[in-house]
Amino acid sequence: PCNHSNVYALIPAAGNGSRMGLSSNKVFLPLSSRSSVLAHTIHNIIRAEICSGICIVVREADREDAEELFAELRSDFSNVQFI
């Protein structure tokens, strides 16, 4: 368990993929056959057990997708904010 009560991870995920020529946010692209860049990032932050919270910065258009992605991770980690 995390003993760092005032350490938060900030995940910048508010891009739109335009520089890559994409029509959607690149954080939702698969990093491996099973998970997206954002899922992989969240999973590793939780697994490291070095922070007490995660703040994920997303575009309003991607908020629901990001929340669903987190729910699919089925983590007991509950201190997550989407802004």
Q: Assess whether pLDDT exceeds 90 at residue 81.
A: yes
pLDDT at 31: 79
Distances (CA, A) of 16 to 10, 60, 74, 79: 18, 11, 26, 25
- For 10-20, the pLDDT digits (tens) are 999 998 877 77
- Cα separation, 16 vs 26, whole angstroms: 7
Q: Assess whether pLDDT exceeds 60 at residue 1.
A: no
- For 29-72, the pLDDT digits (tens) are 887 777 899 999 999 999 998 899 999 999 999 999 999 999 99
